[in-house]
Structure 1
Amino acid sequence: MKSFALSTLSFSAAETLVPVTPPPLCPDLDKNEICSTECSDARDSCYSGCGNDYTCANRCNVVWLDCLETCPCSSGCPDGCDGCPHPVCESTEQYLFMINYDWSFDNKALLLRLSDDTFIESSFNYRFDIMDVDDACYSYIKGNHYFLGGYYNPRAIIKVTDCEFKLQDDELMVPHIDGMWGSCTTYFDQAHLCFSEDGVGAKKCQRFDGENQETDISASSFGSKMKKKRSIVFFYFGVHFFNNLREILTQESRHPHDWTAMAVYDNKMWVVGGCDPDDFSACHNHVEYYIHNNYSWFSGPEHPAEKVYGGLVLGDASGLYTFAGRGPNQGRSVFRMRSGSWSFLGQMTAAAGYSYYFSSGKIVGNFAYVGENNFEKVNLEDEAFPLSTNIGPEYESLNLYYAAMILTDRPICIE
């Protein structure tokens, strides 16, 4: 089996200050993800020979940081692949590696080869005998891939490592259940877990960066729950940060956003539509955005649909997109917001958002790959026709359910 190795060791405080997840304005998000994941793979190989030699581990970290600096959209290639000599910019083959809760009973995964839209069956050890990721948040942080929370494990932190799930010793301070009980996305290299009614609350968020957590707790409770290794973060961020932590973390959205999704566009984190968890008939089309280091929500342009919820929200350097959903007549609709204005792009070939499966998707280049029971390849270029193509696969039902879609430049987890 080819290994899909990702880091299992803790990050130092210095590392937490280094952004690894693709910057929101990166023009080559796909290449950045492949490159940074490969850098983490190399660091794992380096760690494996260190034993308890912390000097060796530090050298591995230095090599890792040097590797990241050469990735598209990092300091060595600030303009993405434009003028960047990294080999990833020259690679022509890419795959979407998909792992999915509803396939866990068979330890199955799928690879989608993007050059010809061919599906290849792969394998993955979901460790379903001891845990599951039903209604969990998938997040890509610092070159590592996580499932956070879930219906049966609302405090679980699970890492994707060596073609299997690895349950971490740490837990989320506040439980999170994704989908109709909450939303999540990765924003400035942190998982933002928001709107979980029985967790942080219907208008609040918690944050996780692979090592540290921030949530709506008292300063005294915060200090007692953080591990000793996290005390270094206090040194970096200073007394002012600590004293104002409570104020920062109690900022609320203006509207409840139950049964919705979030995405990043224009250096902002966006949430579109949703419902009031206390009155499910009170769904809406309100749009809000959150600004990094401002710690506040602001109103954005309302979505053209009267109500939009239960669909998919994705973002890239060119716009913020909504795909399908459970609002009136939204089962196939695709909208884009750009420069503060929404436009209707067209209809997908198949409806999504009406079954209990919550849509999954990922943007790679000019296309969005959106899955539920069908798999749609949506062309995001201006005036594209046809807008989308149903590319299969030829299964009775695809059953994508909170699937992680991880980019790679080679087939992985093939026995």
Structure 2
Amino acid sequence: MKYSIFALFVGKINGQSCPDQEIGNLCESNCKEDLLTCLENCSTAACQEECYLADVLCETKCPCNIYCPDGCENCDHPLCNQPSCLEENELEYANCIQSAKDALFSCYDGCVSDLEIDCYSDCNDESLLSIESCPCMNGCSLGCPCDNYTCSGTNTRITHLGVSWQYPNFPPVLYMTDNMGLTMDPVDYDFVETYTNSLIYADFAILRDVVYIFGGNDWENSVQKVTDDCTVERLDIRPVYRHKSTGGIETFEDKIWLCFYEYKSCQTFDGVQFEAASGRTADDHQYGSLCTYENTLIGIGGKGKKESVEIYLGGGWMKPADTDHPIGLYDGECVNVEEGVLTMAGEYGKEIYLLKELRWTNVGRLLTAVSVPTFVKLGNEIILFAGAKTSDVQKMLWNGESIEDVEVIYQQPEDGIFNPIVFESSSSKCKA
């Protein structure tokens, strides 16, 4: 009979959930290490039976098992007092354990019959060595990065929050995904009720790893930030100009630039105070977009002249000749890539364009038309979070020349969130 070191582990995955399952999995893996050491020192069948019995008793005391069914709650297991590594590396650890499990079963399949005890034993030994190298185990005790394990970069989550323009008829939409957009879990976000409505038409940007939220439907002068414990905190700072997400926002030269909301000018925020920026645009770029292009700011489209493109140079704005957007950009968005600036979505269809060397090229097409969206760029992958008109979240690949592999990866719970606030954070922050 095969003795799988993952026999109990797999049962837990398919059974009821436990809030500290990762710690429980680590505990069980440690029990298996002790089992291996015990078996190596045995020369009789009776001794081996004692080893297996000790292993079973060890696992029953693990979080999420018989003596600690609720995880670390009311559980005095030593691992419950040191969860920090697992919290910071939960996705990397889970991926590593899954790979070890897959390799173990593949190894078992190579054993000709159930009577090949040595073959199964070798499989177990090899699997235990693999587990040793997993994040937070002895071979990688501090988690990623480490020398004995190739980290895949999955220790981040995307947190997505926003409020429907139909609030309070629809509650805030709060959820997070893994960084590939493959899962969607609710997030317990602590909102100050008075300010919840200010997330409608709110704008956001990230400065030195802090998420700042500006303006909103009823509080156009408000400034908020997302704290480390995932609350939304209002700051006692007043901007030079009012702001909403119908303007443009971009982090540039270690400042957040807020532009175009009911003005042809910009203001900057350095994390402490606001300052009016010099220069005015020729056209009104409200409902347009703001990005960086060749280390300069660029304003694209808007309600004044939807095809207009202006660049911020030497403290003022200029309009390069023959650079108008091919179809115009209104309620769409732009995203910076190494080759230039991509524009997509908005009121003018599904087409995606690249601005390179001040020339526009059509480089792809969305599956679903989207208005007032938000982008998250992860390497060469772009995830487009729908704002209005659809609940589709689309993921695509930018290969340096064109958009490939556009797919709808899931549906948002609600399709009336304008410019949803979406940011990447560690897996231990904003946990579901």
Mapped partners of 1:315, 1:284: distance in 2: 19
Matched residue type, 1:381:
N
Once the 2 structures are TM-superposed, how far is the Cα of residue 213 of structure 1 from its aligned partner?
Answer: 1.4
Query: 2:363–2:403: 8 Å Cα contact kept in structure 1?
Result: no
Which residue of structure 2 aligns with residue 96 of structure 1?
158
Alignment RMSD: 2.8
Report 1:290-369 matches (<5 A): 290-291=312-313, 294-300=314-320, 302-326=323-347, 330-353=348-371, 358-369=372-383
**Percent identity at matched positions?**
20
> Is residue 2:298 matched to residue 1:270?
yes
Matched residue type, 1:349:
L
Once the 2 structures are TM-superposed, how far is the Cα of residue 112 of structure 1 from its aligned partner?
Answer: 1.9
Mapped partners of 2:327, 2:403: distance in 1: 26
Query: 1:141–1:189: 8 Å Cα contact kept in structure 2?
Result: yes
Query: 2:395–2:409: 8 Å Cα contact kept in structure 1?
Result: yes
Structure 1 residues 61-90: Cα deviation after superposition (integer angstroms, max 9, x where no partner): xxxxxxxxxxxxxxxxxxxxxxxxx94995
Once the 2 structures are TM-superposed, how far is the Cα of residue 339 of structure 1 from its aligned partner?
Answer: 2.6
Mapped partners of 1:289, 1:381: distance in 2: 26
Query: 2:376–2:422: 8 Å Cα contact kept in structure 1?
Result: yes
TM-score normalized by the length of structure 2: 0.59
Report 1:204-215 matches (<5 A): 204-215=265-276
Query: 1:107–1:125: 8 Å Cα contact kept in structure 2?
Result: no
Which residue of structure 1 aligns with residue 199 of structure 2?
133
Matched residue type, 1:171:
R
Which residue of structure 1 aligns with residue 118 of structure 2?
none
Which residue of structure 2 aligns with residue 192 of structure 1?
257
Mapped partners of 2:195, 2:209: distance in 1: 26
> Is residue 2:186 matched to residue 1:121?
yes
Query: 1:360–1:400: 8 Å Cα contact kept in structure 2?
Result: no
Mapped partners of 1:394, 1:156: distance in 2: 27
- Distance of aligned partners of 1:115 and 1:178 in 2 relative to their CA distance in 1, 3 Å threshold: closer
Mapped partners of 2:327, 2:412: distance in 1: 35
Query: 2:267–2:274: 8 Å Cα contact kept in structure 1?
Result: yes
Which residue of structure 2 aligns with residue 408 of structure 1?
425
Once the 2 structures are TM-superposed, how far is the Cα of residue 394 of structure 1 from its aligned partner?
Answer: 6.4
TM-score normalized by the length of structure 1: 0.61
SS at match of 1:159: strand
Structure 1 residues 342-368: Cα deviation after superposition (integer angstroms, max 9, x where no partner): 111121111112xxxx21112111121
SS at match of 1:388: strand
Query: 2:293–2:336: 8 Å Cα contact kept in structure 1?
Result: yes
Mapped partners of 1:304, 1:261: distance in 2: 12
Partner residue of 2:285 out of 219, 239, 257: 257
Matched residue type, 1:209:
D
Mapped partners of 2:232, 2:425: distance in 1: 18
Mapped partners of 2:393, 2:430: distance in 1: 21
Mapped partners of 2:245, 2:418: distance in 1: 11
Matched residue type, 2:431:
I
Mapped partners of 2:151, 2:298: distance in 1: 32
Mapped partners of 1:387, 1:138: distance in 2: 28
Which residue of structure 1 aligns with residue 238 of structure 2?
171
Once the 2 structures are TM-superposed, how far is the Cα of residue 250 of structure 1 from its aligned partner?
Answer: 4.1
Mapped partners of 1:204, 1:159: distance in 2: 24
Matched residue type, 1:289:
I
Query: 2:384–2:394: 8 Å Cα contact kept in structure 1?
Result: yes
Number of aligned positions between the proteins: 278
Which structure shows the higher helix fraction?
2
SS at match of 1:129: helix
Once the 2 structures are TM-superposed, how far is the Cα of residue 398 of structure 1 from its aligned partner?
Answer: 4.2
Range with greater deviation from structure 2 (339-348 or 115-124) = 115-124
Matched residue type, 2:267:
Q
Which residue of structure 1 aligns with residue 3 of structure 2?
none
Matched residue type, 1:137:
D
Structure 1 residues 214-255: Cα deviation after superposition (integer angstroms, max 9, x where no partner): 12xxxxxxxxxxxxxxxxxxxxxxxxxxxxxxxxx4411122
> Is residue 2:162 matched to residue 1:142?
no
Mapped partners of 1:191, 1:393: distance in 2: 31
In structure 2, the gaps of 5 or more residues are 1-18, 21-87, 89-143
In structure 1, the gaps of 5 or more residues are 3-37, 39-85, 216-248, 277-282
